[in-house]
Chain A
Amino acid sequence: MMPGTAPQTIATDIAIIGSGAAGLMATIHASDSARDLDITVVSKGAVARSGCSIMTLGFNAAVGPGDSVETHFTDLLRRGEFLNDQQLAWVLASTAPEMIDELGRYGCLFDRTPDGALTVLPFAGQSVNRHIARREQTGLEIMSRLRDQVLRIEPRLLEDVRALDLLRSDSGDVTGVVLLDMRSGKPIILSARVVVMATGGAATIYRVASPAREKTGDGLAMCLRAGAELRDMEMMQFLSVGLAAGPSRISGLLLSEVLRFAGGHLTNVAGHRFMADSAPEAMERASLEQIVRASYTEIVEGRGWQNDGVLLDVSHLGAGVVADRYPELVDRSRLAGHDLTTGPVPVAPTSHFQIGGAVIDADCQSTLPGLLVAGEDAGGVHGAAWNGGNGIAESTVFGARAGERAARLATERPHQDAAAGQIADILERHHAPLTRDQGTVPATIADRLKEAMWQGAGPVRTEAGLRRAADTIDELRDEAAQTMAPALIESNPRWHEALDVGNQIDVAAVVVQSALEREETRGVHFRDDHPDRDDAGWLRYVVARADGNRLELDSRAVALDRLAPGREEAP
């Protein structure tokens, strides 16, 4: 421990780690369940502003004409290629409609038809229109109104405070979490009856990625280090339309898949519409995974624009039409030095959504007593592929359930002491970068990690490539143990980058090992050396668990209790 930094201790009933949609819904529902609960929300960045919920384009709920819970459920399983936890998928489909009503009660406006019914938009991967939106501002609308509601509740809001690691009792119960106030640099020991983990995945572990900077897998890494089981960690959803803007930090920001369906052309640097090679009928309207794989292949085989992206062109639709339909996307293209209205824009597959995560039950209970997990940090809902609009539905539905479960648990579970030595160990490990006179720069390690993941564990995978990525991760882990940051504790960005990259490495290692385990192709997981889906061998989900420094992998049969491949009628 650093001298002079004796930790402050706070005792709370419920500790909620993360202030995205899942964390805020958990806060609201815990408070609604029992008003007198002491609730603490820990937010690595600005409350309600530091995750990806705010970027949401739309919310999937079966409320439109011809839609039903059964149909939404069936779409989830088809998209997820039957790897989903069917109980969780059913909870999502059946609860999403009431979430729309609930958000309305908090003041959320959604687009409606002139007669007042919710507008449901078409979206790839849905058999019925069910995408509910607030023009281009759906995520902003939802998060702004959820934040307002949380401000009415007045929980303890710890903003610009990151969580370092979970605390556990001698018997293995989660008893709280060690925090670090990023402004003051001072640690906080948050003792809690229940911890809700909702930090939002680690999609930032790839070279091109869309999420907010805070999403460095802190929650998953904490769950892993505490011994919780993670599932489906090989499943990382890429979108095809990340801005390819070289070293600029705007790289990875999303244009929209809609541009392909509107008639956009994808070409390589030679001007060839490369989808003609792998999907001559569908061309740019091929499935997302086909587009992502083909674009990725063009780029890694050297046919990309400046080795960075393929070219997406909608300018033939007419400058006026493009400017009128997609004003925000046009602005974004111009920011990258191009212009959607007049010519092609370089795009690359961008890592967007972590499908896998902690093993949970329908009430978000993880495999550790006292730890609930909700939203992108949890696994099982989406199976082997995610669809736009189901992520925000998951965060709100399961955030709410986590909050209610936490309120019940808080009445049953006492505060417990953490096992001896644990707090000192955690603080010492996390302060280490400040104590070194020389060492590696964390951003360099992060760049190499992201490159290794892109090369070896990206949209197209082979055993050899995954093993190379694993070797690089091992090297980087050693180097990350020697990072250095200036010896000051207040507002020290390099220190936090060092802590971030430690978490990113822990998560990346699980992604790679899980991807090695799954010797088939399913959903977003494409093994070039095992290109077929193997239902006979692999209707199984990969479970990872850390035992000290060793990672244990295992696979378990999916319970096909409602639907199975070939038996795809509604349950």
Chain B
Amino acid sequence: MAGNKTRRADSAATPSGNNGFVKLTVRRSDPTAPAVFDVPGAEPMVVLDVLLAAQQHRDASLAFRFSCRAGRCGTCTVRLNGSAVLACQTPVAVSTELVVEPLGGLPVVKDLVVDMAPFHARWSEIVRLVEPGPVVTASGGTDQTLLDSSRECISCGACYAACPVAASGRAFLGPAALARAAGDYAGPAARAPASVMGSRGFTGCHSVGACSVVCPRDLDPALLIRSLRRGRRGRFT
């Protein structure tokens, strides 16, 4: 699969009258903390740069996460103007307005930092069910796109946050964990554990498809879940 999806922040943002500046509005966990920042624009600039500038020069306590800056670690996921993006991979044009919020569907630790524990707990539940070991290889005729979706997840949590079933607070395992199961669960579908196949698992999916729309790596968990539910994958039938 190709690299990260690059969505320009300006396509979704409204032009700001403040020339040369980026107007950043952050949803803070402390409602009394400053939430609107004018940050000098620069070229090139990504959403992460805007957040860092606000933190360095306006409010040192503004909290967010990042690590690799290359779209691999999945830690800088935020909601930008309503949709989940990786802050390090999203360019910003000067004179735009950005509204940045924490990912939905997960408890907020502080400002833009969310607690990924529910996401990881579900992933862990799945990998403990899945036998590690050699799986079907690309040359074995397996659909390449499907395989990619199951393996190249960066655990950024965007799909989990976008999924209305996962966000509803039910025990649904969510797109990333189910895609992981679909890719690696080596056994007949009929014998798959109830947690994978039941209402917490594949049958709990409402086929909304938000997970695949939002994935910053252009992976397709919805397709995996759908095809696995229909038993189309050779290893599951």
- Where the two chains meet, the residues of A that have a C-beta atom closer than 8 Å to any C-beta of B are 45-46, 49-50, 52, 54-55, 104-107, 109, 111-112, 114, 116, 136-137, 139-141, 144-145, 148-149, 151-152, 183, 212-214, 245-250, 253-254, 327-328, 330-332, 334-337, 441, 443, 485-486, 488, 490-494
* Chain B residue nearest to A247 in the complex (CB): B42
Contact of B67 among A109, A114, A183, A212 (CB under 8 A): A212
Does B127 have its Cβ within 8 Å of any Cβ on chain A?
yes
Judged by DSSP, the binding face of A is: loop
A-side contacts of B32, CB under 8 Å: none
- Check B151 against A45 for contact (C-beta < 8 Å): no
Q: Does B134 have its Cβ within 8 Å of any Cβ on chain A?
A: yes
Which A-chain residue is minimally distant from B155 (CB atoms)?
A49
Task: Verify A151–B61 contact, CB threshold 8 A.
Answer: no
In the complex, identify which listed stretch (B68-76, B161-169, B206-214, B227-235) lies at the interface while the others stay far away: B68-76
Complex CA–CA separation, A223 to B24 (angstroms)? 41
* 20 A-B contact pairs sorted by A residue (CB < 8 Å): A45-B67, A45-B75, A49-B155, A50-B75, A52-B68, A144-B151, A149-B132, A213-B66, A246-B42, A246-B43, A249-B46, A250-B69, A253-B69, A331-B6, A335-B44, A335-B46, A441-B56, A485-B60, A493-B55, A494-B60
B135 within 8 A of A: yes
- Indicate if the CB atoms of A332 and B3 lie closer than 8 Å: yes
Question: A residues within 8 A CB of B67?
Answer: 45-46, 49-50, 212-214
Is B179 an interface residue, CB under 8 A from the partner? Answer: no
Residues in A neighbouring B135, C-beta threshold 8 A: 107, 109
- Let me know if B70 and A253 touch, CB within 8 A: yes
Q: 8 closest pairs, A vs B, by CB?
A: A328-B3, A337-B44, A331-B3, A148-B127, A491-B110, A49-B73, A494-B60, A491-B63
- Chain B, range 3-41, C-beta contacts under 8 Å to A: 3-4, 6
Residues of chain A within 8 A (CB-CB) of B109 are 183, 491
A494 cross-chain contacts in B, Cβ below 8 A: 55, 60-61
- B2 & A328 in contact (Cβ 8 Å cutoff): yes
Looking at the assembled complex, report how far the CB atom of A171 sits from the nearest CB atom of chain B, in whole angstroms. 38
A139 close to B3 (CB less than 8 A): no
Q: Give the complex CA separation of A441 and B56 in angstroms.
A: 9
Instruction: Name the residue of chain A whose CB is nearest to the CB of B75.
Output: A46
- From residue B221, how far is it (CB to closest CB) to chain A in Å? 15
Q: Which of A112, A144, A485 contacts B137 (CB 8 A)?
A: A112
Say whether A331 contacts B2, CB under 8 Å: yes
Contact of B44 among A112, A144, A149, A336 (CB under 8 A): A336
A136 to B49, CA, bound (A): 26
* Count of chain B residues near A, Cβ 8 A: 54
A45 touches B73 (CB 8 A): yes
Contact assessment for A334 and B52 in the assembled complex, using a CB-CB cutoff below 8 Å: no
Q: How far is the CA of A247 from the CA of B113 in the complex (A)?
A: 24
Is the C-beta of B202 less than 8 angstroms from some C-beta in chain A? no
Q: In the complex, what residue of chain B is closest to A335 when comparing beta carbons? A: B91
Q: Are A141 and B3 within 8 A (Cβ)? A: no
A561, chain B: closest CB distance, angstroms? 38
A249 touches B73 (CB 8 A): no
Known: A109-B151, A137-B152. A249 touches B69 (CB 8 A): yes
With most chain A CB atoms within 10 A of its CB, the pick from B65, B69, B116, B135 is B69
Extra pairs beyond A137-B151, A212-B73, A331-B6 (20, CB < 8 Å): A49-B155, A50-B67, A54-B68, A104-B134, A105-B133, A109-B137, A137-B152, A139-B72, A140-B152, A141-B151, A152-B128, A214-B67, A248-B46, A249-B66, A250-B49, A253-B70, A334-B6, A335-B91, A337-B43, A337-B44
In the complex, are the beta carbons of A148 and B132 less than 8 A apart? yes
**Using a CB–CB distance below 8 Å, which chain B residues touch chain A?**
2-4, 6, 42-46, 48-49, 52, 55-56, 60-63, 65-70, 72-75, 88-89, 91, 109-111, 113, 116, 123-124, 127-128, 130, 132-135, 137-139, 151-155, 184
Shortest Cβ distance from residue B53 to the other chain A in the assembled complex, whole angstroms: 9
Residue among B42, B130, B139 making CB contact with A248, cutoff 8 Å? B42
B216 to chain A, nearest CB (A): 12
Count A-B pairs with CB separation below 8 Å: 160
Instruction: Verify B52–A249 contact, CB threshold 8 A.
Output: yes
A214 / chain B contacts, CB cutoff of 8 Å = 67
In whole Å, how far is B55's beta carbon from the nearest beta carbon of chain A? 6
* A140 and B139 in contact, given A247-B42, A443-B56 (Cβ under 8 angstroms): no
Which residues from chain B contact A45 at a C-beta distance below 8 Å? 65, 67, 73, 75
CA distance A124 to B152 in the complex (A): 27
CB pair A140 B154 closer than 8 Å: yes
Residue of A nearest to B154 (CB): A140
Q: Is the CB of B89 within 8 A of A335?
A: yes
Q: In the complex, are the beta carbons of A107 and B184 less than 8 A apart?
A: yes
Q: How far apart are B160's CB and chain A's nearest CB, in angstroms? A: 15
With A and B bound together, what is the CA distance between A111 and B137 in angstroms? 9
Asked if residues B132 and A145 are in contact (CB atoms below 8 Å), the reply is yes
A183 CA to B75 CA, complexed, in Å? 15
Whether B69 lies near A331 (C-beta < 8 A) is: no
**A145–B139 alpha-carbon span in the complex (Å):** 20
The chain A residue sitting closest to B116, CB to CB, is: A46
Q: How far is the CB of A47 from chain B (nearest CB, A)?
A: 8
Q: How far is the CB of B184 from chain A (nearest CB, A)?
A: 6
Assembly CA distance A189 to B91 (angstroms): 42
In the complex, which residues of chain B have a beta carbon less than 8 angstroms from the beta carbon of A114? Answer: 139
CB A19 to nearest CB in B, in angstroms, measures 11
**Min C-beta distance of B22 to chain A, whole Å:** 13
**Among B4, B56, B68, B137, residue most surrounded by chain A Cβ atoms (within 10 Å):** B68
* Known pairs A246-B44, A248-B46; A49 contacts B88 (CB<8 A): no
A145 to B151, CA, bound (A): 9
Q: Is the CB of A116 within 8 A of B46?
A: no
Q: How far is the CA of A253 from the CA of B66 in the complex (A)?
A: 14
Q: Do the beta carbons of A54 and B72 come within 8 Å of each other?
A: yes
A141 contact set on B, CB distance < 8 A: 151-152
Shortest distance from the beta carbon of B129 to any chain A beta carbon, whole Å = 10
Q: Shortest Cβ distance from A95 into chain B, in angstroms?
A: 20
CB distance A151 to B60 under 8 Å? no
Known contacts A250-B46, A327-B2: A54-B73 contact under CB 8 Å: yes
What is the CA–CA distance of A54 and B153 in the complex, to the nearest angstrom? Answer: 12
Which residue of the partner chain, among A52, A151, A248, A337, contacts B128 with CB atoms under 8 Å?
A: A151
Question: A492's contact among B46, B61, B73, B128, by CB below 8 Å, is which?
Answer: B61
CA distance A148 to B116 in the complex (A): 16
- Give Cα A254 to B70, complex, Å: 9
Which chain B residues border A106 with CB–CB below 8 Å? 132-133
Q: Determine the distance from Cα of A501 to Cα of B68 in the docked complex, in whole angstroms.
A: 18
Q: Which residues of A contact B66 (CB under 8 A)?
A: 213, 249
The reply to whether A248 and B72 contact each other, CB–CB distance below 8 Å, is: no
> In the complex, how many angstroms separate the beta carbon of B193 from the nearest chain A beta carbon?
15
Q: Which residue of B lies closest to A137 (CB)?
A: B152
A490 vs B135: C-alpha distance in the bound complex, in angstroms?
43
In the docked arrangement, what's the CA distance between A109 and B147, Å? Answer: 11
Residues of A within 8 A of B111 (CB): 491
Q: Is the CB of B61 within 8 A of A486?
A: yes
Chain B residue with the shortest CB-CB distance to A183: B109
Shortest distance from the beta carbon of A159 to any chain B beta carbon, whole Å: 9
A324 to chain B, nearest CB (A): 11
